[in-house]
Chains A and B, each alone.
Chain A
Amino acid sequence: MRYKYFGLLIILAVLGLIVGSFGLAERLLNGLNPTALGSYIPWGLWVAFYLFFLGLSAGAFLVTIMTYVLGMKQFEHIGPLAAFTVLIALLCEVQFILLDLGQFHRALYQFFLSPSFTSLMTWMFVLFNAMLVIYALKTFLLIRGNMIKMADKEKGRLLKNIYKLLVLGQTSYSEQQRANDRRWVGILAKISLPVGLLFYGTNGTFFAILISRPVWNSALTPLLFIVAALLSGGALITFLTYLFRLKDPLNANGFCREEQLCLDLGKIILFLLIVFLALEALQFFVGYQTGTAAIVTSLNLIVGGPYWWAFWIVHVLIGSVIPLLLLLFGSHNPRSVVWACFLIFVTFLAVRFNFVMPDLAVYKLEGLEATFYHPRLRTEYIPSLNEWLVSPWIVSSGLIAFLMGTRFLPVVTDETGGAANE
C-alpha cells in the first residue's frame, strides 16, 4: 500500500545502510577485533539487539496466534502484516547473532555436522529455523491470492515479473485454492503455537540454566522473557496497525477500524505491561532479599551503575511509567495508546541491555580484577563505534525489507482479504 512516510523512511534506511556499511566492512575484515567485547563481558550490544528483535517478533507472533488459532476475527486483516513482521524480525535477529560469532561461517554447517542437543543454543537454532520456515510459508499463503491479482494488473514490467516469480508463475487463483490456503494457514498457525512458545521460552531458559549467573539463574527468567517479548512485540504491532490505518470506514465513535483495533490491543498491552513490571519487581525483591553478594552487586549495577539512566530514565520513566499512565487514562484515545506502545517498544533495548550486562559485569572470582590487566579482561563495557555502526546496518536492512514488503506486497489487506493497494 502507499503510505505517507514511505519516502522519508526509505531515505533513513538507505542512510543507515551507507553509514553502517563502514562498520560491517570492518567487522567482516577484522572479525571481532573492532568490538569492545572481552572475555569477562563476552556478549554486548548485539546480543541486546538480538533480544530486542526477538521481542518484536514475539508480539507479531501473538497477533497471528490470536487471529489464526483463537479465531479472533477483529485481528484478521492485520494477520498478514503480523506474519510478515515476524519474518523480518527473525531475519534481523539472525544477522545480529551471526555477526556476534567469532567464526560465523562455521555456524552455517557445524550445527548440522556436530550438533549437541544438551545445549540450548542448538535448540534455539532448530526452533529459529522452524519459525522461519513456518512464517515464510504462512506469509506466502496469506498473500498469494492477492499477489496473483497484482501480477495480473501491474503495468510495470519489473514488478510484474517479481510478482510472477514470487507466485511461481501461477496466473489464476480459485476460491477453492483460497480455502485450501486458509486451511494450511490454520494448520501452520497451530504448529507455530507450540514452536513459538518453545522458541521464546528457550531463549529465556538459555540464560536461566547458567549456575554461575545468579541473576539469570532463576525459574522466573523464561517467564519474564516470554512476557517481555510479548509486551515489546505487541507494542510494535499496535504501532504498525496505527501506521497502516486506512481511515475508512469510520465507526460511531469516529474511529476507523485500525484505530478501534489499537484500542483493543492497548488493553492487552496494558495487561502485559503490568505483569512484566510485577515480575521485574519480584526479581528485584527476591534478589535483594536473598542478599547474595553476586546478585546484590548485579542489581546494584542496574539501579546505580554506569548505566543507571538506562534503567531509571529510559526503562522506568519513558518506557514504563509514561506508557502506563497513557494506557490507563487514555485508553479511549487511539493516539494515547499508540504513543504508549511506541514508547514501550523503542525503549525496550534498554531493558535488554540491562538484562545482558549486569550479570556479566561482576567478577566471578575475587581478585580477578587485579591480575593480568588487559582491556579484554575487564568488566567495564562501552560498545565500540564498530558495534554502533553495524547495528544501524542490520536495522536498516530490516527496515528496507519491511518497507518494500508493505509497499509492494499485499501484506496490508482489507477485511475481505483484498490488498489495500489494489
Chain B
Amino acid sequence: MARILPSEDLLSRMQRDLKRSISGDRSKIKWSMVIDLAKCAGCHACTVACVAENKLPPGVVYRPVLEEEIGTYPNVRRRFIPRPCLHCQNPPCVKVCPVTATYKNEQGVVVVDYNRCIGCRYCLVACPYAARTSDFGEWYTKGTPGTSENLLGKEKCSEGYENNPAAEYGKKWPRRGKGSPIGNARKCHFCLHRIENGMLPACVTTCIGRATFFGNRNDPESLAAQLISSPRVFVLKPELTTKPAVYYLK
C-alpha cells in the first residue's frame, strides 16, 4: 500500500514546490501543467472553479473538459481531457497579434494585455487548440428584472458574482459598459494572480482526483518536472511543433 498511496496530499507537495520556485530566481521559472488522464473523472470541477475564480461571463471558458468515447460496445470507454490554454513554447497566437497585446511572459506563460488588445480575434483563429475565447459582453443576469428582491432582482442576483471584479493579471477588472475585458480575447493564464500570492491555480486545487499537477519544469525536484519525464507523457497535436507547456499522461 505504501508504494501506491502518497505519504502526503499531492497538493501540499505542489504548494511547497511553488513556494520554493517563487522564492528563488524567478527568471529561471518555467511554469508547466501536467494532467493525468487516467485519474480525471470528468467531474468538471476544474471548469467551474476556473469560471468562479476569474468571474467568467457566459460564453467564456478557459478550461473546458473534453469528452471522448473510445471503442465500441461492449469494449467502450470514456476519456476526459481537460483543456486549459497549453501555453505553447512556440505559440501561434503570439506571432499573429498585431499590437503585441498577447505575449509570453518571462515565466513562459502566454498572457493577454487587456488594455492593449483591439479585439481582432486573429489569435482565436490561430490557436490550434481553440483555447481562446472572446468576451462578447454577455451577462448571467441578462433579462433579469431589475427589482430589489433577493431571488429575482438583478442587483441582488449579481452581488455575489457579476458585480465583483475579476482579479486577472493582478488587477481589478470590474464588469461594466463595454470596457475590457469585454471585446477582448480571453484565456487561461495559469491563475498568475494566485501564483503571485503563493497559491496554486484554481483548477489544480479543486481537482478531486488530483489529476492536475502544476509546477516549475526547470526545478528538477518539483512534482511537475518529475511527471513530465514519465513514459506516459504526451502533448496535444505534437505535429504542429507548438511545444505546449501543458503535458498529458496517458
The chain A residues found within 8 Å of chain B, CB to CB, are 30-33, 35, 37-40, 42-43, 100-104, 106-107, 110-111, 113-116, 118-122, 125, 209-213, 360, 363-368, 370-372, 374-377
Q: Is the CB of B119 within 8 A of A122?
A: no
Nearest residue (CB) in A for B132 is A39
A115: which B residues are within 8 A, CB to CB?
98-100
Assembled-state Cα–Cα distance A119/B126 (Å): 11
Main secondary structure of the interface of A (DSSP, over half): loop
CB A217 to nearest CB in B, in angstroms, measures 10
Shortest Cβ distance from A56 into chain B, in angstroms?
A: 22
Q: Is the CB of A110 within 8 A of B128?
A: no
B65, B116, B136, B240: most-surrounded residue (chain A CB, <10 A): B136
Partner of A101, one of B81, B119, B236: B119
B123-150 to A contact mask, C-beta < 8 Å, 1/0: 0111111101111111000000000000
Cα separation A114 to B98 with both chains bound (whole Å): 8
Which chain B residue shows the least CB distance to A366?
B68
CB neighbours of A33 from chain B (8 A): 136-138
B110 CB within 8 Å of chain A? no
- Given known A211-B92, A366-B66, A372-B61, contact A121–B122 (CB-CB < 8 A): yes
Chain B residues closer than 8 Å to A360, beta-carbon distance: 125
Complex: A118 Cα to B122 Cα, angstroms: 13
Q: Does B43 contact A (CB under 8 A)?
A: no
Report the Cα distance A110→B102, complex, angstroms. Answer: 13
4 more contacts with CB within 8 A, not counting A102-B185, A107-B118, A372-B47, are: A35-B136, A106-B116, A111-B98, A376-B136
Q: Does B227 contact A (CB under 8 A)?
A: no
| Chain B neighbourhood of A372, CB < 8 A | 47, 61, 64
Instruction: Report the contact-size class of chain B (Cβ under 8 Å from the partner).
Output: 35 or more
Min Cβ gap A401→B in Å is 25
Alpha-carbon distance A56/B147, docked complex (angstroms)? 52
Task: Decide if B106 is an interface residue (CB 8 Å cutoff).
Answer: no
A-B residue pairs in contact (CB < 8 Å), sample of 13: A35-B136, A101-B118, A102-B135, A103-B117, A106-B117, A106-B119, A110-B116, A113-B99, A115-B99, A121-B120, A211-B128, A364-B127, A376-B138
What CA separation (Å) do A110 and B178 show in the bound complex? 18
Contacting residues, chain A, for B117 (C-beta < 8 A): 102-103, 106
Q: Report whether A377 and B83 are in contact in the complex, using a CB–CB cutoff of 8 Å.
A: no
Per-position binary interface string of chain B over residues 178-189, scored 1 when its CB falls under 8 Å from any chain A CB and 0 otherwise: 101011110000
Q: A116-B98, A374-B59 are in contact. Are A31 and B178 (CB under 8 A)?
A: yes
Among B118, B124, B130, B185, find the residue whose CB has the most chain A CB atoms closer than 10 A: B118
Q: Are A103 and B184 in contact (CB under 8 A)?
A: yes
Are the CB atoms of A30 and B137 closer together than 8 Å?
A: yes
Complex CA gap A32/B182 in Å reads: 9
Looking at A40, A42, A370, the one whose CB has the most chain B CB atoms below 10 A away is A42
How far does the Cβ of B4 sit from chain A's closest Cβ, in whole Å? 30
Cβ contact within 8 Å between A368 and B136: no
The answer to whether A371 touches B118, judged by C-beta atoms less than 8 angstroms apart, is no
Q: How far is the CB of B124 from chain A (nearest CB, A)?
A: 5
Q: Which B residues touch A119, using CB under 8 A?
A: 95-98, 122
Give Cα A121 to B119, complex, Å. Answer: 12
Could you give, for residues 50-91 of chain B, a 1 whenever the CB lies within 8 Å of some chain A CB and a 0 otherwise?
Answer: 000000001111001111100000000000010100000000
Asked if A367 and B129 make an inter-chain contact with CB atoms under 8 angstroms apart, the answer reads: no
In the complex formed, the residue of A with least CB distance to B92 is: A211
Contacts of A365 in B (CB 8 A): 66, 81, 83, 129-130, 236
Point out which of A103, A106, A118, A365 has the most chain B C-beta atoms below 10 A from its C-beta.
A103
Out of A35, A39, A366, A367, which one reaches B59, CB within 8 Å? Answer: A39
Closest to B239 in A: A211
Residue of A107, A213, A371, A376 touching B58 (CB-CB under 8 A) = A376
Q: Are A102 and B125 in contact (CB under 8 A)?
A: no
Is B16 an interface position by the 8 A CB rule?
no
CB of B130 to closest CB in A, whole Å: 5
Contact in complex: B182, A31 (CB < 8 Å): yes
Contacts of B20 in A (CB 8 A): none
Q: A103-B183, A115-B100, A211-B92 are in contact. Are A37 and B66 (CB under 8 A)?
A: no
CA distance A112 to B111 in the complex (A): 21
Chain A residue at minimum C-beta to C-beta distance from B242:
A211
B121 within 8 A of partner (CB): yes
**Inter-chain contact A367/B122, CB cutoff 8 Å:** no
When distances are taken between beta carbons in the complex, the residues of chain B under 8 Å from A39 are 59-60, 124, 130, 132-134
In the complex, the answer to whether B59 meets A375 with C-beta atoms within 8 Å is yes
A364 touches B128 (CB 8 A): yes
Asked if A212 and B122 sit within 8 Å, CB to CB, the answer is no
- How far does the alpha carbon of A33 sit from the alpha carbon of B182 in the complex, in Å? 9
B118, A43: Cβ atoms under 8 Å? no
Residue of B nearest to A367 (CB): B66
A116 touches B97 (CB 8 A): yes
- In the complex, what residue of chain B is closest to A379 when comparing beta carbons? B130
**Docked pose: A33 CA to B137 CA in angstroms:** 6
Write the chain B residue with the least CB distance to A30. Answer: B137
Whole-angstrom distance between the Cβ of A30 and the nearest chain B Cβ = 7
Assess the A114–B138 pair: CB atoms within 8 A: no
CB-nearest residue of chain A relative to B79? A367
- B186's closest neighbor in chain A, by CB? A39
A residues in contact with B81, CB < 8 Å = 365, 367
In the complex, A122 Cα to B95 Cα: how many Å?
11
